[in-house]
Structure 1
Amino acid sequence: MLDRSESSLASLLARRIPGYTLEAPFYTSPEIFAADMEAIFEQHWIYVGVEPDVPEPGDVVTVDIGRNSILIVRDDDMGVRAYHNVCRHRGARLVLEEKTTVGNLVCRYHSWTYNLEGDLIHAEHMGENFDRSCHGLKSVHIRSLEGLLFICLAEEPPEDFDGMAAVMAPYIAPHNIRETKIAYQHDLIEPGNWKLTMENNRECYHCGANHPELTVPLFAYGFGFAPEELDDLEREQAERYACLVTAEHTDWERMGIPSRCQEHLDDMVTGYRAERLPLDGAGESHTLDTRAASKKRLGSLPSDKMGALHFWTQPNSWHHFMGDHVVTFSVIPLDANHSLLRTKWLVHKDAVEGVDYDLENLIGVWMATNQQDSDLVGYCQKGATSPAYQPGPYSPHTEMLVDKFCNWYIKRMLAWHGPTRVTAKA
């Protein structure tokens, strides 16, 4: 609950100190969680999956976001559509499974039937004056960014998605997500508020002490460091990394693969960041031997040694694109204290498990890293409930991207819940 002395969500938003963590109620209050769902997850473009989730006509995947259940459907013309998972008769859920394949969408309550274009095509006993055309499924805005699926629940979605997509499409297109398949999906319930999961992702300050698997292929230097605090060996490694970035960006872009940093984390409604970064060792993949996990190279990539394209979107996703596979992550809030982290590993659609890739090798680094991060998020959630908690300062060297996430969040909440809007009282 919000402490009554804090007055309102608007007051908490107005007094946020840039460069510091948020006040405890932002992580613990059910009222602020409800405000987050209204202002963030019901108003912005939310990453929810990939086109290979629905590879064939009639394939359906469901995604639950707060009080909303959404159907994503591949239609007969191979288009991807999204609808509210609500029958227009008496509101029953149409699809109860996470994934299924259908000819039409049939409500199991009274058999109202909808085609894949959302039209009501069958409804018995409704009388001769009943107009089926007025009772089609309610559509949801959906966009595919080179195979990454985003939905928006607002009546009028943010218009700047097109600007982000125009910049990012050339970065993502060479990996050809539409010609991949989902080799594995893992759902992890993290014991923390969704913002703590996102904040944890936006920095690598914690990586050296907590991610022994991830830091084999990944350079933590790519996410900031304090030069004056490095010892001689660390300085040598940081300089080697900086040279690699310069050299490989030049090489990749000469091959026609955009690589340089694009960052709009807190100056756009549809905030994002992207950069192709070198990997250590063989430089091929997020594996413990740093070599490609799959023998089938993706898309039009000219080499296995393509580093890893990092792509982040506000408010709920991050992605790693490599020469042999892609890993996508989405965060869906469940309540003030729990979040769903959904991870998908994508390989070439013709890759065969046990022949072209070993599943444990493919998923090993991120399965370990996700659990380590979940534990860290849980520690922070417990700490935020303590009376001793107070906002602490972010490192200006290693947590500047966390601060940008919080800047974006505060701006978007103020736009929806500011002084001229209804505030969430205690």
Structure 2
Amino acid sequence: MWHSLVTAGEWHADGQGFENMTESIKALVERRVAGKSLDAPFYTSDEVFDLDMKAIFAKHWIFVASEPEVAEPGDALVVNVGTASVIIARDDNGEIRAFHNVCRHRGVRMIPEGKTMIGNIVCPYHSWTYGLDGKLKFYEHMGEDFKPGCNSLKPVALRSIGGLLFICLSDNPPGDIDEMARIMEPYLAPHNVREARVAHQVDLIELGNWKLTMENNRECYHCGPNHPELTIPLFAYGFGFSPTELDEEGRVAAQRYTDLIEVSRSRWEGEGLPSSEVDELTGRPTGFRTQRLPIDQSGESYTMDTRAACRMPIGAVQDKALGALSFWTQPNSWHHFMGDHVITFTALPLSADRTLVRTTWLVNKNAVEGVDYDLERLTEVWKATNQQDADLVEIAQQGAEDPAYETGFYSPYTEGLVEKFAVWYIERLKDYLA
């Protein structure tokens, strides 16, 4: 469904797109109204999607995996970001590296998307062979003047922060990731992700634009009526509420939550667990936010009974009631760190109306399935929640494609993080278009 942009230029229904595309998109960006959802073409337009891939996903730090996904030398993972394909591999010295998945001979894509184990990186076309350090090791028939040292695989910038792996496809990655690493390492270190192992991973295709996926994640306004499993351990009050609209029962529950935050944070900080809110979501290329929040009832884990799903703690902290440390990054990830397991989420755009959401559950590396944890119990809350969110994103996409769609006001109480995501996104487009 194509949308008329009125002041932003004429949109053609025959698929030709904008007249004077760049100027029209600039006008669309400039007309964004603070506190309101984005104009429909931000969610529906192929041209805007192409801009997103160039201005956002090709220029910023993108969360793609965790260190346990490439735990041993020779472990490799191929992640596709738009038309780019990246090999992430651990070499024989234990160092994790990232390379463009493109042979230097004739540009062939060498390894299919997904996980594998390799001793070398071998091009299937003409058998050019690269070490896990990216250096060209084997080639034939290239003549005496050929210089193998000039034909190593092209590296991709990679950073591990607390065991979470971020890549940047740009030759000039944003330097403010150093600040995010400085702040976040102390928050993440107690959970020892680098020494964890993958218990389970699920890929889900959401039938919506990647921004709708992220906006849905950034609020819990929708949680009460849509997430019966998640709202057993999760306090929706942690994501805001209108105090004047609470009934007596709601006021009591909100006060109980406020009191619990104070008591829990004091205990967590005393145990050496940084827990206070850090909000750097806007005004910088590498936007992020973190905060440790209580879990209801036992306070232990995102499970149906709120108790730990794995009997072996993840990391060095023995206190089971750690609540959940949440870590959000712009543009594409969110994570939850508890005493017994960690869950990571990455959203990767596939098209203007398709988004891959990858969820990974991590546990203590020595934990044994069926002995130390039951996989169904470990995963059931977020499997259900992810599908519920996918259903919501799909109908949000359908709404954005409807001719009746108009931008709507965000709740100042419960959708502040959605507004910050939109602000960050518009900031980054303006920077790119300038």
TM-score where L is the length of structure 1: 0.97
1:385 maps onto 2:401 in alignment: yes
Q: Match for residue 85 of structure 1?
A: 101
1:192-215 deviations in Å (ceiling 9; x for gaps): 000000000000000001000000
Q: Which amino acid in 1 is paired with 2:369?
A: E
Q: Match for residue 409 of structure 1?
A: 425
Q: Aligned residues, how many?
A: 418
Q: Match for residue 58 of structure 1?
A: 74
Q: Match for residue 234 of structure 1?
A: 250
Query: Which of 323, 345, 349 is equivalent to 2:361?
Result: 345
Q: Match for residue 116 of structure 2?
A: 100
Q: Match for residue 422 of structure 1?
A: none
1:335 maps onto 2:351 in alignment: yes
Tell me if the contact between 2:198 and 2:360 (Cα under 8 Å) persists in the aligned partners: yes
1:208-248 deviations in Å (ceiling 9; x for gaps): 01000000000000000000000101110000000111111
Tell me if the contact between 2:321 and 2:339 (Cα under 8 Å) persists in the aligned partners: yes
Deviates further, 262-271 or 134-143: 262-271
* Residues 247-262 of structure 1 aligned to structure 2 (within 5 Å): 247-262=263-278
Q: Shift of residue 4 of structure 1? A: 6.8
Query: Which of 391, 399, 414 is equivalent to 1:375?
Result: 391
Query: Which of 60, 66, 78 is equivalent to 1:44?
Result: 60
Q: Secondary structure at the match of 1:187?
A: strand
Q: Secondary structure at the match of 1:11?
A: helix
Query: Which of 111, 122, 144 is equivalent to 2:127?
Result: 111
Query: Which of 20, 24, 31 is equivalent to 2:40?
Result: 24
* Residues 19-418 of structure 1 aligned to structure 2 (within 5 Å): 19-418=35-434
Tell me if the contact between 1:86 and 1:93 (Cα under 8 Å) persists in the aligned partners: yes
Please provide the CA RMSD for this pair.
0.9
Q: Which amino acid in 1 is paired with 2:68?
A: P
Q: Structure 2 unaligned segments of length 5 or more: list them.
A: 10-23
Q: Shift of residue 97 of structure 1? A: 4.6
CA separation in 2, counterparts of 1:215 and 1:243?
Answer: 19
CA separation in 2, counterparts of 1:3 and 1:67?
Answer: 29
Tell me if the contact between 2:3 and 2:40 (Cα under 8 Å) persists in the aligned partners: no
Q: Secondary structure at the match of 1:200?
A: helix
CA separation in 2, counterparts of 1:287 and 1:38?
Answer: 39
Deviates further, 295-304 or 157-166: 295-304
CA separation in 2, counterparts of 1:351 and 1:42?
Answer: 37
Tell me if the contact between 2:61 and 2:168 (Cα under 8 Å) persists in the aligned partners: yes
CA separation in 2, counterparts of 1:412 and 1:61?
Answer: 29
Q: Match for residue 423 of structure 1?
A: none
Q: Which amino acid in 2 is paired with 1:362?
A: L
Q: Shift of residue 178 of structure 1? A: 1.0
Tell me if the contact between 2:123 and 2:129 (Cα under 8 Å) persists in the aligned partners: yes
Q: Shift of residue 66 of structure 1? A: 0.2
Q: Secondary structure at the match of 1:167?
A: helix
CA separation in 2, counterparts of 1:388 and 1:97?
Answer: 39
Q: Secondary structure at the match of 1:295?
A: coil
Q: Shift of residue 38 of structure 1? A: 0.2
Q: Shift of residue 267 of structure 1? A: 2.3
Q: Secondary structure at the match of 1:330?
A: strand
Q: Which amino acid in 1 is paired with 2:288?
A: Y
Tell me if the contact between 2:334 and 2:346 (Cα under 8 Å) persists in the aligned partners: yes
CA separation in 2, counterparts of 1:339 and 1:2?
Answer: 21
Q: Shift of residue 3 of structure 1? A: 4.1
Tell me if the contact between 2:77 and 2:89 (Cα under 8 Å) persists in the aligned partners: yes
1:150-174 deviations in Å (ceiling 9; x for gaps): 0000111011000011011000000
Q: Shift of residue 102 of structure 1? A: 0.9
Q: Secondary structure at the match of 2:185?
A: helix
Q: Which amino acid in 1 is paired with 2:381?
A: V
Q: Shift of residue 69 of structure 1? A: 0.3
1:228-281 deviations in Å (ceiling 9; x for gaps): 000101110000000111111111001110000000111221101100000001
Q: Which amino acid in 2 is paired with 1:308?
A: A
Tell me if the contact between 2:283 and 2:427 (Cα under 8 Å) persists in the aligned partners: no
Q: Secondary structure at the match of 1:170?
A: helix
Tell me if the contact between 2:3 and 2:403 (Cα under 8 Å) persists in the aligned partners: no
Greater relative contact order: 1 or 2 (C-alpha under 8 angstroms, separation 6 or more)? 1
Tell me if the contact between 1:2 and 1:31 (Cα under 8 Å) persists in the aligned partners: no
CA separation in 2, counterparts of 1:268 and 1:97?
Answer: 31
Deviates further, 296-305 or 20-29: 296-305
Cα 1:320–1:4 shift into 2, 3 Å: closer
Q: Which amino acid in 1 is paired with 2:344?
A: T
Tell me if the contact between 2:301 and 2:307 (Cα under 8 Å) persists in the aligned partners: yes
Q: Shift of residue 302 of structure 1? A: 3.0
Q: Secondary structure at the match of 1:343?
A: strand
Q: Shift of residue 301 of structure 1? A: 1.1
Q: Shift of residue 89 of structure 1? A: 0.5
Tell me if the contact between 1:43 and 1:152 (Cα under 8 Å) persists in the aligned partners: yes
CA separation in 2, counterparts of 1:97 and 1:203?
Answer: 31
Q: Which amino acid in 1 is paired with 2:133?
A: E
* Identical pairs, percent: 58
CA separation in 1, counterparts of 2:4 and 2:363?
Answer: 48
Q: Which amino acid in 2 is paired with 1:35?
A: L
CA separation in 2, counterparts of 1:4 and 1:178?
Answer: 48
Q: Match for residue 421 of structure 1?
A: none
Q: Which amino acid in 1 is paired with 2:239?
A: F
